[in-house]
């Protein structure tokens, strides 16, 4: 109360009921802050250069060996590379905030956890877009050398976008409860490799052999693995099941991430 007895005005409180414009503005602020951190620390440049050199070298080696005018070898090698690189992108998302104790400051800003989650996800997705831009010269090269199937190439890129969204959402979520970037990286990479390797024929055969009654390998392939959905894109198709798998999976991880932050904010 005021020294003379008059009541002081109540401190303003942040409402979770935001207009679409206010919501988008908050997401943009967080995304810009995160992108600034990526580029300011040099992470964006180092990761992009390393990824482009490695992925392009693998593709060019396969291209000269096979002589095929298509992007399929590039798309087929991407899941294993992304299982390493994308967890490296997301490991700092919330772990760094916790380590530097800036998460408390972020959550006291006039934004809701879902805005913060989406902002960090979109910043990571923008960096991932730079990864994929490094492969555009291959499309141009193939168009000059022959007549590639542009429909198959487009479907492959759609599959890459879906896969990237899923792994980035999962990695950002797994960074939220951790205060250590290494732990966040390891857990995210393990999940990514699990999603990728459960689609490998040898892994499926081994798991089916170990658990014949359950048919565990086949079960994981049909329900958990990215292989059926991503493989359809590599083959040139974009089935609704694949869109649902990547879209709902990515959205679920972001929603759980926002719930974790809401609990920490309470």
Are 237 and 159 a contacting pair, CB within 8 Å?
no
From 158, 203, 205, 168, select the one nearest 189 (Cα to Cα).
168
Alpha-carbon distances of 206 from 1, 14, 200, rounded to whole Å = 71, 53, 10
Q: State yes or no: pLDDT of 11 exceeds 60.
A: no
Do residues 67 and 138 make contact, with C-beta atoms less than 8 angstroms apart?
no
Confidence of residue 261 (pLDDT cuts 50, 70, 90): confident
* Residue 23 confidence (pLDDT) above 90: no
Are 180 and 95 contacting, i.e. CB atoms less than 8 angstroms apart? yes
Q: Mind listing the pLDDT tens digit for each residue in 24-49? A: 988 998 899 899 989 888 889 999 99
pLDDT in the model for residue 13 = 42
- State the pLDDT at residue 97: 77
pLDDT at residue number 265 = 67
| pLDDT of 192 over the 90 cut | yes
Q: Per-residue pLDDT averaged across 75-96, rounded?
A: 92
- Model confidence, pTM: 0.88
Q: How far apart are CA 220 and CA 201, in angstroms?
A: 12
174 has pLDDT over 80: yes
Interatomic CA distance for residues 138 and 74, integer angstroms: 9
For tokens 């000059």, what's the residue?
144
Over range 140-161, report the average pLDDT: 93
Using DSSP's 3-state secondary structure scheme, residue 64 falls into helix
């Amino acid at each position: 109360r005021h020294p003379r007895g008059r009541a002081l005005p109540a401190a303003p409180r942040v409402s979770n009921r935001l207009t679409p414009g206010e919501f988008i503005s908050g997401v943009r602020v967080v995304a810009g802050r995160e992108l600034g951190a990526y580029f300011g620390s040099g992470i964006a440049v180092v990761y992009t250069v390393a990824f482009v050199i490695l992925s392009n070298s693998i593709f060019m080696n396969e291209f000269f060996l096979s002589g095929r005018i298509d992007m399929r070898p590039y798309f087929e090698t991407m899941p294993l590379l992304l299982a390493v690189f994308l967890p490296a992108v997301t490991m700092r998302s919330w772990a760094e905030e916790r380590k530097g104790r800036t998460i408390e400051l972020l959550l006291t800003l006039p934004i809701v956890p879902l805005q913060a989650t989406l902002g960090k996800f979109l910043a990571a997705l923008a960096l991932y877009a730079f990864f994929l831009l490094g492969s555009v010269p291959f499309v141009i090269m193939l168009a000059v050398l022959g007549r590639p199937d542009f429909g198959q190439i487009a479907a492959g890129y759609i599959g890459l976008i879906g896969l990237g969204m899923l792994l980035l959402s999962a990695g950002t979520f797994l960074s939220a409860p951790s205060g250590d970037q290494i732990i966040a990286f390891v857990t995210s990479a393990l999940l990514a490799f699990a999603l990728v390797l459960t689609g490998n024929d040898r892994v499926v055969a081994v798991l089916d052999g170990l658990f014949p009654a359950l048919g565990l390998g086949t079960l994981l392939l049909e329900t958990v693995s990215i292989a059926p959905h991503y493989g359809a894109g590599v083959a040139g198709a974009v089935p609704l099941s694949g869109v649902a798998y990547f879209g709902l999976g990515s959205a679920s991880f972001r929603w759980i991430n926002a719930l974790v932050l809401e609990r920490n904010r309470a």
